[in-house]
Structure 1
Amino acid sequence: MNKLHLVRRALLCLFLFLFLNATPLAAQRSIQGTPISFLKKHASVFSKKTKEVKVPALNMTRIKKEDAANSSNRFAAPVPVNYTLQNSGEWTDLEDGGRVWKLKLKAKDALGIFILYKNFYLPNGARLFVYNQNKTQILGAYTNQNNAKTGQFLTGMIDGEIAIIEYYEPSYAKNQGRFEIYEIMQAYDREKIESDAPSQNYSGFGQSLPCHENINCSWGDSLQTQKRGIVRMMTVYNTGIGWCTGSLINNAENDGIPYVLSAHHCGFLGANIANFSLWRFDFNYEFSGCANEANEPTFVSLLGAEVVATAEPSDFLLLKILVNVPSTYNAYFNGWDREDVVPSAGYIIQHPFGDV
């Protein structure tokens, strides 16, 4: 949820935002729907169990050393893989001429799984889902609307150590779809893995501090328009995944170009290399009222950006999201001016530790 606090009351929170919130840690656009294999009319052809593919384990010795050296809050780390529609998974033919490809991944001891794709292309009519073994968590359907010029794609975290990928293509699109799964980001927690304790929520939800107040408390009454421009950013690096915050920002042409103003340290963290084409921008990530709620709020997302400008001394980063913001997101482009006048008051709207 967006958090709001007055600058004069938030020095500690601001420090945490600047120096912890962007440390590399270990729903973009989709349409609602149901995976084909879930439908009763196809129960007979999907009666056999899908074979598991074991994902290489994380090198926890190396990760511990890296985290100790960098005081890192990283919660997910990558392992390279090579899974394609040709060399992995199983195809099932349907009576109507369509077909379904399924791949079941198991990353032992992982608390969650992110999947990274390249050469990603879905033809018209094709649908991609990712879900857990119990079918209680479903991501997708992803369609040709998710094709990007970069050819890269990322699906969000599936809780636990098993994720099932299901790709459907209709008869008229046979052999047209393609993608390569080249990396699996595995969520981990050093102490909990070693003690066999239950896993915890790694979405960022519930991680903020008492000094972070919700945007829909009385403090935010005058900022209900501006809050619609604030985005939570899931930042992807070669070393893992983390969180930051940015704001949609208007330009002099007032033409809706999706510029996002954020901080240099969000994208440039020492030797870590940011993959901006896989950064995810979450809109409307907030509770409906002032009080914290037990369940994470729903939100909408866009995937991918490019760097327009950045500078370390002033710690600014200007990004451009690769696709326009849909009108249904009800987003607001926050403004600016060039007057040399110091504001009498200031506010910070952010997502501490990736929380609401």
Structure 2
Amino acid sequence: MLLALLPEALWGQYRTARTPRSEQMPLSPVVGALGSGQMMRSATNALRVAAPSAEELRSATAGDKGFRTYTFAVERPVAEATEALGRMYQDGAGNYVWRAEVQAPQAKNIGLRLSRYALPRGGALFVTAKGRPAKGAFTEQNNETDSLLQIAPIDAETLVLEYEYPEGTRADQLKLPFRLDALFYGFRDFRSAGRAENFAQPGEPFYDHPRASLASLSCAPNAIAYPDAWKQSRSTLLLIVGGTSASTGSLINNTRSDGTPYVLTSAHCLNNLFKLLGDLGAVNRNASTTVFFFGFQSPLREGNVRPTEEQSLSGANLVGYNEDTDMCLLRIKGLPRRANGTLGPIPAAYQPYFAGWNINESPQGPFVGIHHPGGSTKRYNLTQDTELRTSDYDLSYEDKHGSVRFISWSDVHWEVNAWAVGATAAGSSGSALFDKDGLIVGALTGGASTCDSPNDDRYWALKRSWVSNTPGAGTIRSLRPWLDPTNSGRKTCDGYDPIAPKVVQRLSAIYPDPVATSAEVVKPNVTHTPRTGVDAIGNELRLPQISGATILGAYVVFKSNDQLTSADLPQLRVALQPFTDDYALGGKVVDFASSTLGTYARYDAFGAAQRGSRTLRSDSIEFFFPAPDGLKLSLSEGRYLLSCTTSDSRELRLPLLAYDGPADRLRGWAAWTHHWTDGWRRSTELPGGAYWIDLLIETTTLVNPEAKSDLPQGLTGYYHGGALHLEGEELRHTPCEVRIYDLTGQLHMHQKLTQTGGRATVSVTGLVPGLYIAAVRPTSGRISDAHSIYFSHK
């Protein structure tokens, strides 16, 4: 079940600070022959492609139901020589620039595919919407071993291509180092401000596509609500293929358990719904332009937050492929590089898990499906069947000439008759079906399930693709050479967790971390924009002793709006520092900043970073930004302040998601604000709350932010009529005391509490009117064991 998707910035684009020569100085057309036999168009001519016909549009969307696809662009091959599409210019220093236009009248967006791409050092290719400034250039950093470059669609009807030859290039050396292979005519809108179609920038997951909206997917719950399937959820990825479609895949293990980045999906996700049937070269090109999004899941068990898009990798090699069974196995090649230049593993912050597999004839259920319907957040399906059977499956499709064809599979597909939980949709194609032990038994080809009728989905069976019966086909048509490289002959293979025995977790007051299954679920219930003059906010939290943990990054979750754009987003800094006994702040033990907030990052095959702008509309949005490599965390038990500020110390006006309610539900967490004239103080606007700011850490021992103290959690208290009124079982059984501080940390009162039936009243009429903190603790305890109550004395 494939879903078409589209990007904005340019896939593979290596953004630099450079601007085109044409924006820096006048260029003059070159007159006369250039010595290399180049043909040049007139300056007013351009490549012009026709809009898709009604029949083409019908054909492009024909697979929506059967294959669960959603297509938004049609391909237009370019037959003309690329040099002949443009004209040569020179700047005042005699340097050459080739410029061309491509036009797609009435298109919503245009994407390009380049072949024979091999830019020399010093060469730069700019691809820009006509009339807009360029944002950066493609360079030699984008060279691939297959010499292909997929340029994600840009919202425009006309694109301008400018190739700057390296300085000093002679007239007899002006052969273009690339070919324009194809243009993708986007016929669906992505960027109309304030309209339903404004669901994603080009290059992003859809999240809430009008054709597969969050409302229509309501029967398929968020995967994070099922912590028992957390490892399988970690293996599930959202795929964007070839610039025109979105689908699902799964990291899959091999018998060496060596972390080889294999991704299992379905063949029709790579061959454009069989339009490229038998065209292995074109399928390979699609593989090389596939982008893999990790952890694209709502961080709420119930409710929708547009999740992080910053955790992604791009580019793959096709290693296993068999259209007779709909099998496809990819190997991610766009891994980040180590300092010594070698390819590293998938980053731990992405929390990868390589699912195991089962090729037995009769796998046992219940069976679970985890997938990205509608190119949206990760969802969970469950069928309570204890057994499955394989059956025949037929689908119709339209070939690249628009003719209706039929494809039939005999005894290849597992048949899911009905889902007890969930349903699939466009974009679910390629998602894994897991048995009772969490092992993959198949991947989704198609079906007809909906929330109203959750029936009849088909998954191609791994056991039918394990070995190929085609003589001379080599290893590409089989899974066994790749998934059983040791020739073990095993029928099952357990999953591989590259993080284990360590764990990766979020230190959060709100996020229901699946690895901390005992944590109470606290949902954000308020959107809070700090008041004027507030330049930092933070959460007070209790932490146990931590030794040698690694800080992987930070999450910030806020509510966007239609006026906010990525250009308006400040870069953020997070810090962690201890409170002293008198509530002063000690030195920072963690301190790092973002540099690319508002963009999503990818890696090409050479480890070069790529950036695209995230969609900011009226969604709740989760951002992740990584910590510097090797940032460690060691601290003693106590109270700490996790703070967030802008990198340039501006006012922090982001509308942050927060919780505000009974303070005991936050297990001692509390919201603080920093005003540039008043310093740090407990938040008066979130007196029982916390902001949604999280640290992501890798640790050998699960950190429980709910660290227990000698003071039971049942203490409640409030201020009224010049007195604090306290109640709790600890006051019945434990000698306690109260210390009252102002917000500068100065102690104003110290009083022992008598054990009077679990209740106590403390008069504060002698205090000067103002804001105070009462710290209640066992008499024999430490200040870090105190239960704090914020109050305003009038």
Alpha-carbon separation, structure 2, partners of 1:129 and 1:301 = 23
After superposing the two structures, state which structure 1 stretch, 89-98 or 242-251, moved more. 89-98
Alpha-carbon separation, structure 1, partners of 2:106 and 2:270 = 29
> What amino acid maps onto 2:109 in structure 1?
G
- Report what 2:251 is aligned to: 248
Which runs of structure 2 are paired with 1:122-161 in the superposition (5 Å)? 122-135=119-132, 138=135, 141-161=137-157
Alpha-carbon separation, structure 2, partners of 1:222 and 1:95 = 66
- Report what 1:353 is aligned to: 374
Summarize the Cα distance change of 1:336–1:57 in structure 2 as closer, same or farther, 3 Å threshold.
Answer: same
> What amino acid maps onto 1:166 in structure 2?
E
- Report what 1:276 is aligned to: 284
- Report what 1:305 is aligned to: 317
Matched, 1:77 2:74: yes
Alpha-carbon separation, structure 1, partners of 2:46 and 2:291 = 31
Instruction: Report deviation, 1:354.
Output: 2.7
Partners of 1:102 and 1:164 within 8 A in 2 = yes
Partners of 1:250 and 1:335 within 8 A in 2 = yes
Instruction: Report deviation, 1:44.
Output: 3.7
Summarize the Cα distance change of 1:81–1:338 in structure 2 as closer, same or farther, 3 Å threshold.
Answer: closer
- Give the unaligned 5+ runs of structure 1: 1-17, 191-196
The alignment partner of 1:257 has SS state of coil
- Report what 1:91 is aligned to: 88
Residue-by-residue CA offset, 1:201-253 (whole Å, 9 max, x unaligned): 575522143336796x85266777765654332334xxx93221112333333
Instruction: Report deviation, 1:111.
Output: 0.8
Partners of 1:80 and 1:184 within 8 A in 2 = yes
After superposing the two structures, state which structure 1 stretch, 265-274 or 336-345, moved more. 336-345
Instruction: Report deviation, 1:277.
Output: 1.7
> What amino acid maps onto 1:170 in structure 2?
P
Alpha-carbon separation, structure 2, partners of 1:226 and 1:317 = 19
- Report what 1:325 is aligned to: 335
After superposing the two structures, state which structure 1 stretch, 341-350 or 258-267, moved more. 341-350
Instruction: Report deviation, 1:255.
Output: 4.2
After superposing the two structures, state which structure 1 stretch, 328-337 or 253-262, moved more. 328-337
- Report what 1:12 is aligned to: none
Instruction: Report deviation, 1:23.
Output: 7.1
Alpha-carbon separation, structure 2, partners of 1:224 and 1:143 = 40
Partners of 2:224 and 2:297 within 8 A in 1 = no
The alignment partner of 1:353 has SS state of helix
Summarize the Cα distance change of 1:338–1:85 in structure 2 as closer, same or farther, 3 Å threshold.
Answer: closer
Alpha-carbon separation, structure 2, partners of 1:288 and 1:51 = 49
**Root-mean-square deviation (Å):** 4.2
Larger Rg: 2
Instruction: Report deviation, 1:65.
Output: 4.7
- Report what 1:110 is aligned to: 107
Which runs of structure 2 are paired with 1:140-289 in the superposition (5 Å)? 141-171=137-167, 175=174, 178-189=177-188, 203=202, 205=206, 206-207=208-209, 208-210=213-215, 211=217, 218-219=224-225, 229-236=235-242, 241-267=244-270, 269-273=273-277, 275-279=283-287, 280-284=290-294, 286=296, 289=299
Alpha-carbon separation, structure 1, partners of 2:304 and 2:44 = 41
Alpha-carbon separation, structure 2, partners of 1:175 and 1:220 = 59
Instruction: Report deviation, 1:160.
Output: 2.6
Alpha-carbon separation, structure 2, partners of 1:54 and 1:38 = 23
Instruction: Report deviation, 1:154.
Output: 1.2
- Report what 1:10 is aligned to: none
Summarize the Cα distance change of 1:276–1:253 in structure 2 as closer, same or farther, 3 Å threshold.
Answer: same
> What amino acid maps onto 2:375 in structure 1?
G
- Report what 2:354 is aligned to: 334
Residue-by-residue CA offset, 1:273-317 (whole Å, 9 max, x unaligned): 46332342233473784465689945644234314144655x542
Alpha-carbon separation, structure 2, partners of 1:103 and 1:224 = 50
Summarize the Cα distance change of 1:317–1:86 in structure 2 as closer, same or farther, 3 Å threshold.
Answer: closer
- Report what 2:51 is aligned to: 58
Partners of 2:85 and 2:100 within 8 A in 1 = yes
Summarize the Cα distance change of 1:176–1:329 in structure 2 as closer, same or farther, 3 Å threshold.
Answer: farther
- For these two proteins, the number of residue pairs brought into alignment is 319
Residue-by-residue CA offset, 1:64-113 (whole Å, 9 max, x unaligned): 45257655742111222246552222334346665433322221011111
Instruction: Report deviation, 1:149.
Output: 3.1
The alignment partner of 1:86 has SS state of helix
Summarize the Cα distance change of 1:123–1:333 in structure 2 as closer, same or farther, 3 Å threshold.
Answer: farther
> What amino acid maps onto 2:286 in structure 1?
L
The alignment partner of 1:155 has SS state of strand
Alpha-carbon separation, structure 2, partners of 1:218 and 1:306 = 30
Summarize the Cα distance change of 1:294–1:349 in structure 2 as closer, same or farther, 3 Å threshold.
Answer: closer
TM-score by length of 2: 0.35
Alpha-carbon separation, structure 2, partners of 1:163 and 1:117 = 14
- Report what 1:194 is aligned to: none
Instruction: Report deviation, 1:157.
Output: 0.9
TM-score by length of 1: 0.70
Q: Taking every aligned residue pair, what percent have the same amino acid on both sides?
A: 21
Partners of 2:239 and 2:246 within 8 A in 1 = yes
Instruction: Report deviation, 1:57.
Output: 0.4
Summarize the Cα distance change of 1:256–1:74 in structure 2 as closer, same or farther, 3 Å threshold.
Answer: same
The alignment partner of 2:374 has SS state of helix
Alpha-carbon separation, structure 2, partners of 1:131 and 1:328 = 34
Partners of 1:231 and 1:284 within 8 A in 2 = yes
Greater helix share, structure number = 1
Partners of 1:123 and 1:144 within 8 A in 2 = yes
Partners of 1:258 and 1:324 within 8 A in 2 = no
Alpha-carbon separation, structure 1, partners of 2:168 and 2:346 = 32
- Report what 1:36 is aligned to: 19
Residue-by-residue CA offset, 1:5-36 (whole Å, 9 max, x unaligned): xxxxxxxxxxxxx3xx35799x6444321453
